[in-house]
Chains A and B, each alone.
Chain A
Amino acid sequence: MSQAEFHYIGQHMPRKEDYRLLTGRGRYVDDVEVPGALHVCFVRSPHAHARIRGIDATAARGMPGVVAVFTGADLARWTTRLRMAPPIEGLQPMEMDALPIDKVRFQGDPVACVVAGDRYLAEDAAEQVQVDYEPLPVVSSMWQALQADAPRVDETLPSNLLSHQQAVFGDPQARAQAAHRVVQSTFSMHRQTHLPIETRGCAAIWDAGREHLTFHVGNQVPHPYRTTLAGRLRLSESQVTVVSQDVGGGFGQKIALYREELVVAALARELKQPVRWREDRLENLLASSQAREDFCRTRAAVDAEGRLLSLELEIVEDFGAYSFYPGNYLARVVAMILTGPYKVQDYSYDVKVVLSNKVGNGPMRAPMAITSWLMDGTLDAVARELQLDPLAVRRLNMLHPQDLPYRMATGEVLEDITPRETLEGAVAAIDYADFRRRQQEALTQGRYLGLGICTVVESTTYGSRFYKAAGIPGSGHEAAWVRIEPTGVVNASAGLGPTGQGYETSLSHAVAEGLGVPMSQVRIHLGHTDIAPYGMGSRGARGGTAGGGTLYLCAGEAQAKVLAIARHHLGLDSPAVLRLREARVERQSEGVWLPTGLSLVDIARKAYLDPTSLPEGMSPGLDFHKTYDPPPMTYSNSTHVCEVEVDAATGAVRFGRYVVAEDCGTVLSPVVVEGQQLGAIAMGLSGTLYEHVEYDDNGQNLSGTLADYLVATAHELPHIEILSMHTPNRSTPAGIKGMAEGGVMGAIGALCNAVNDALRPLGVVADRQPLTPMYLRGLIRQAQHS
């Protein structure tokens, strides 16, 4: 079905959630009023790696307003340990306490928890908790982690090598030996963090009579989160309600159950009093999930024209100190989808994930962010070595429509993607030939312009079969319900965890289309585990296909029952063609849709209040539930083209035009999708230029404030031009593909490739990020001296 055939899907409608948000009436975790709540403050380690010899909280306990101080030993009695040990070859099992008992593993690791009447008093008392530390040697880099005599971050493991996986497809080495040239390139991506503007926080209310915990937290995956929280508190899932209302951004940081949150929940139960915690920004930068930090090397074997014959990939990822996710969770996906839009069957990967004395890593929009830079950056390296045009090398290697469906070397199947269309669309929009002319002209004036191209094949919706094949535990299914109430209004829900994307709008499009009612008649309820059905939440770009798709199917079943009742009422025993449109039943007659005089309100009244008038055997009510497991994987694709000028005197990068052509299939809400495109690109550009979680050799975090962890503002970012394309996926409901992370991937690649295109006349290559003026100026200086 093409976009044009939909009535509600794809309509340009402003967001439904804006009114409450714009008027200051949203409800974020810290806005929830909890009478009598105690406040906690965590005592955090100043050392990156140290033995805890003792904790003396006597002084703190005697301070005004202080209720109690608890340590890891206390929490161990009230909680279970987290064991991360999925049966994956090459992955070491890891365990973690609620709070560390014997040693701390990074600067900021929580060691004690002060409970007081208000946050000010709790913070005062936290300063008076005396912890006796014995500092230990620190693992501060991935290379040090891999040394044989390195200190061990987790002493229960034989080494710091948490995960190691290799695979060979075809015979890349033989192809390399016979090749015209083998081009080797390296890529380093630095450690970053998600930085939602709303930090983490939670509030726990224990009902001692009902033995029930209500837990307010901003979270992307409320049901899986509830499973973990209940398990670690030794409660059943029927004893825990997780409530996640408005959330000020997640980007992957609000998925796992953090230790602070577990502690707050446990203390509410032990103290029989509500307990709450608000993370401050310094804690967020020191101790909330971080991401990225990979070193990658590719070896591309090519013929004289630049045709890829084989590709070899090595990745080393610094995973930090704790395993909130399986160690292979992030880097493995890069290896599985690396070749993306390009044709190559002889391929190998070697992925090592190591532990260090830093914050534990997690997925950050996009966990596989480096993929497209690696791939298009490799092709740029080929173009440089063989003196070819980078666009020509891409055209030579890119999949043609007739190659689809295309089974990548790793077995992943690409279909319904259009990389050639986005590539040609984007380079035409930017006028590639004209840019090359302007670039030459500028060079004669000593100015360095560059243009970078990056084509992305974004893995969007991970079905259960993908997880199974990749050896990652988990399900990719989603659940939804749709209820038409007796007055004809529609309530609906899915298991997604909204963090600001505009789901109430985009999911309304899906329900409206599936059912045939105006969007204004649909209300979406999310983020409450007693209301929403058990779904897998929001990760990756699954919201559209998994969430929207399940709701669309569920609403379709609702429409079928509505129409069955209508058919019965109209006395039509033949399979007359009926439809619901704008909440009215219409009948097709000689190709024209005509009113029947029946509305959804009439049908709803019969279903609820006059069930004896329903067709024989039909159950009363209009209450529908659906679960759906998407295909193993869906892909969207895009091409990003970025123009820059590198100031040779200062190393500063200035943007010219930025164009993206994106094909993300059927789009539920063009408003929401455009917002995701712009936001993802901004995050990619900001990360590439500025954002850097930096640790020194002693494992001290040097980026603990927003004056140190720099993020792009409105002043630094370019205007982004978007070309929208919509090739539906033929295997998903309504042809939805999902999107939201590809922009990060493409922006990183396009910007780095543009900078290297600018530096090309100087003969130097920037192979690591961030692209700071200091770094680029150093490369330019080196070129000028040689």
Chain B
Amino acid sequence: MKNMEPQDITLTVNGRNHEIKVVPRRLLVDALREDLRLTGTHVGCEHGVCGACTVLVDGRPQRACLTYAIQMEGHEVATIESVDHEGRLSVLQQALHEEHGLQCWFCTPGIVMTFEAFLRQNPAPDEEAIREALSGNLCRCTGYQNIVKAIQKAAARMRPEQI
């Protein structure tokens, strides 16, 4: 079967190009985790419901378990490993730490990636809007309350000072 043959692709992840060989059916999340050894992106359900594998594709959140690696040629993928800078947590990560917005953290990479993008689009979200957006990510540990608080805190810190 020709379409099962491995193909050479270039994956652009966190600003770096990676030349890898993948079969066309290889999932983006497997390519990230196993071929690139970027294991911060987690696999929770492999059917697009739980949101743990969410990465940014050209700045927009996308399920890496419902995406083939081969589809990503010519696109920019960003994973959790790109969010902190030289050991400094992002504003959102810092707020999650301060508000105890994570426990086992298996779901958190997906939440961080979703809201890094969300907060850029929605600088002043109310609780309802945050909860609505967060409903695409399942968390079994926290009851979500502290995640919501952390996102509110991050939003407030990221807004430009009111004059």
Contacts and interface: CB of A to CB of B under 8 A. Distances in A.
A683 B140 contact: yes
Contacts of B98: 14
B147 interface: yes
Interface stretch (B47-55, B69-77, B118-126): B47-55
A535 to B, nearest CB: 20
A246 B45 CA distance: 18
Interface string B134-145: 111111111111
Interface in A673-698: 674-675, 678-683
Contacts of B50: 197, 281, 706
A530 interface: no
B38 A500 contact: no
Given A281-B44, A714-B135, A23 B80 contact: yes
B144 A714 contact: yes
Contacts of A719: 145
B105 to A, nearest CB: 4
B138 A197 contact: yes
Nearest to B40: A24
B97 interface: yes
A720 B143 contact: yes
A715 B132 contact: yes
Most buried by A among B40, B102, B103, B138: B103
Contacts of A195: 140
Contact of A22 (B38, B97, B106): B97
A15 interface: yes
Interface stretch (B56-64, B107-115, B154-162): B107-115
Interface stretch (A55-63, A247-255, A335-343, A624-632): A247-255
A488 B141 CA distance: 35
A120 B23 contact: yes
Contact of B106 (A196, A502, A679): A196
Secondary structure dominating the interface of B: loop
Interface in A168-221: 194-199
Contact of B45 (A251, A671, A706, A717): A706
Contacts of B103: 249, 500-502, 675, 679
B83 interface: yes
A720 to B, nearest CB: 6
A675 B142 contact: yes
A4 interface: no
Contact of B143 (A196, A249, A678): A678
Nearest to A505: B100
B115 to A, nearest CB: 11
Contacts of B45: 281, 705-706
Nearest to B37: A33
Nearest to B141: A679
A198 B146 CA distance: 20
A18 B102 contact: yes
B141 A249 contact: yes
Contacts of A25: 40
A24 B146 contact: no
A714 B137 CA distance: 8
A155 to B, nearest CB: 36
Interface in B20-49: 23, 25-26, 33, 37-47, 49
Contact of B105 (A248, A681, A711, A716): A248
B100 A15 contact: yes
A576 interface: no
B75 to A, nearest CB: 20
Given A281-B44, A281-B47, A22 B84 contact: yes
Given A22-B93, A196-B140, A705-B49, A249 B106 contact: yes
Contacts of B79: 24
Given A675-B103, A705-B47, A713-B138, A18 B97 contact: yes
B13 interface: no
Nearest to B149: A719
A745 B97 CA distance: 28
13 contacts: A19-B89, A22-B84, A22-B89, A22-B112, A197-B52, A197-B104, A198-B104, A199-B44, A500-B105, A675-B146, A680-B143, A714-B144, A717-B144
Interface of B: 23, 25-26, 33, 37-47, 49-50, 52, 79-81, 83-84, 89, 93, 96-98, 100, 102-109, 112, 130-132, 134-148
Given A22-B89, A197-B138, A679-B142, 8 more contacts: A18-B102, A24-B83, A281-B50, A500-B103, A671-B100, A682-B144, A714-B148, A716-B135
In the A-B complex, list the 3 residue pairs whose CB atoms are closest, starting with the nearest: A24-B40, A500-B104, A248-B106
